Amino acid sequence: MSEVNDIPIDVLRHSAAHLLAHAVLDLYPETRTGIGPAVETGFYYDFLRQTPFTPDDLEKIEKRMKEIARENTPIERLVLTKDEAVRMFEEKKQDLKVELIREKGDATVTVYRQGPFADFCLGPHVASTGLLQNVKLLSVSGAYWKGDERGPQMQRIYGAVFATKKELEDHFRMLEEARKRDHRRLGAELDLFSTSDDLGGGLILWHPKGARVRAVIEDHWRERHWAGGYDILFTPHIGRATLWQTSGHLGFYKDSMYSPMDIDDQPYYLKPMNCPFHIQIYKSRMRSYRDLPLRWAELGTVYRYERSGTLHGLLRVRGFTQDDAHIICTPGQIESEILRVLDFSVSILADFGFIDNKIELSVRDPKNLGKYCGTDDLWCRAEASLVKALETRGYPYERMEGEAVFYGPKIDIKIKDALGRHWQCTTIQFDFNMSERFGMTYVGEDGQEHRPYMVHRALLGSLERFFGVLVEHYNGSFPLWLAPVQAVVLPIAERHEEYARALDRRLGENGLRSSVDLSREKVGKKIREAEIQKIPLILVVGDKEVERGTAALRVHGQGDKGEVDLARFIEQAKEFHRQKSLIVNF
RNA sequence: GCCAGCGUAGCUCAGCAGGUAGAGCGGCUGAUUUGUAAUCAGCGGGUCAGGGGUUCGAAUCCCUUCGCUGGCUCCA
CA distance A435 to A536: 48
CA distance A166 to A437: 59
Question: Could you identify the residue whose CA is nearest to the C1' atom of nucleotide B5?
Answer: A55
- Range A36-63 average pLDDT: 87
CA of A316, C1' of B70: distance in angstroms: 15
Which nucleotide across the nucleic acid strands is nearest to A492, CA versus C1'?
Answer: B34
CA distance A451 to A444: 10
* Nearest of A281, A261, A4, A285 to residue A128 by alpha carbon: A4
* Residue A322: active-site member: yes
* Residue A278: active-site member: no
CA of A574, C1' of B1: distance in angstroms: 51
* Nearest of A298, A297, A315 to residue A306 by alpha carbon: A315
pLDDT given for residue A1 in this prediction: 38
- Range A431-437 average pLDDT: 92
CA of A93, C1' of B67: distance in angstroms: 41
Whether the model clears a pTM of 0.90, i.e. scores above it, the answer is: yes
ipTM: 0.91
pLDDT-wise least confident of A50-54, A200-204, A461-465: A50-54
Strand B nucleotides within a 7 Å radius of protein CB atoms: 1-5, 11, 31-39, 66-76
* Residue A326: active-site member: yes
CA distance A303 to A274: 10
Residue type, position A370, single letter: G
Catalytic residue among A18, A156, A287, A456: A456
Strand partners, A328: A294, A454
CA distance A557 to A197: 36
For chain A, the first-to-last Cα distance in angstroms comes to 48
Contact A33, A98 (CB under 8 A): no
Strand partners, A114: A75, A117
Look at residue A537 and give its three-state secondary structure: strand
Catalytic residue among A14, A64, A326, A364: A326
- Range A122-144 average pLDDT: 88
User: Exposed (0-12), middle (13-18) or buried (19+): which is A199, by Cβ within 10 Å?
Assistant: exposed
CA of A188, C1' of B46: distance in angstroms: 21
SS3 content of chain A, % helix, strand, coil (to 5): 40, 30, 30
Which nucleotide across the nucleic acid strands is nearest to A495, CA versus C1'?
Answer: B33
- Range A481-488 average pLDDT: 97
Look at residue A135 and give its three-state secondary structure: strand
- Range A8-32 average pLDDT: 91
Between strands A514-516 and A487-491, the pairing is parallel
Catalytic residue among A97, A410, A496, A554: A410
- Range A453-471 average pLDDT: 95
List alpha helices for A228-363, DSSP H.
241-247, 249-252, 275-282, 334-351
Which nucleotide across the nucleic acid strands is nearest to A532, CA versus C1'?
Answer: B37
* Nearest of A17, A10, A9 to residue A156 by alpha carbon: A17
Contact A296, A231 (CB under 8 A): yes
CA distance A6 to A344: 42
CA of A492, C1' of B36: distance in angstroms: 11
Which nucleotide across the nucleic acid strands is nearest to A526, CA versus C1'?
Answer: B37
Catalytic residue among A275, A287, A323, A412: A275
Which nucleotide across the nucleic acid strands is nearest to A308, CA versus C1'?
Answer: B1
* Nearest of A552, A548, A549 to residue A540 by alpha carbon: A552
pLDDT in tens, A77-120: 988 888 888 888 888 889 898 888 888 778 888 999 898 998 99
The radius of gyration of chain A from alpha carbons, rounded to an integer in Å, stands at: 29
pLDDT given for residue A3 in this prediction: 64
pLDDT in tens, A376-431: 999 999 999 999 999 999 999 999 998 899 999 999 998 877 666 777 889 999 99
pLDDT in tens, A258-279: 999 999 999 999 999 999 999 9
Instruction: Please give the backbone phi and psi of residue A295, each rounded to the nearest 5 degrees, phi first.
Output: -125, 105
Look at residue A267 and give its three-state secondary structure: strand
Q: Where are the beta strands (DSSP E) in A108-181?
A: 108-114, 117-120, 134-144, 153-162
pLDDT given for residue A2 in this prediction: 41
pLDDT in tens, A212-232: 999 999 999 999 999 999 999
- Length in residues, chain A: 586
In eight-state DSSP terms, residue A74 is: B
CA distance A194 to A210: 10
CA distance A405 to A427: 12
CA of A371, C1' of B74: distance in angstroms: 19
Catalytic residue among A94, A155, A322, A533: A322
* Residue A556: active-site member: no
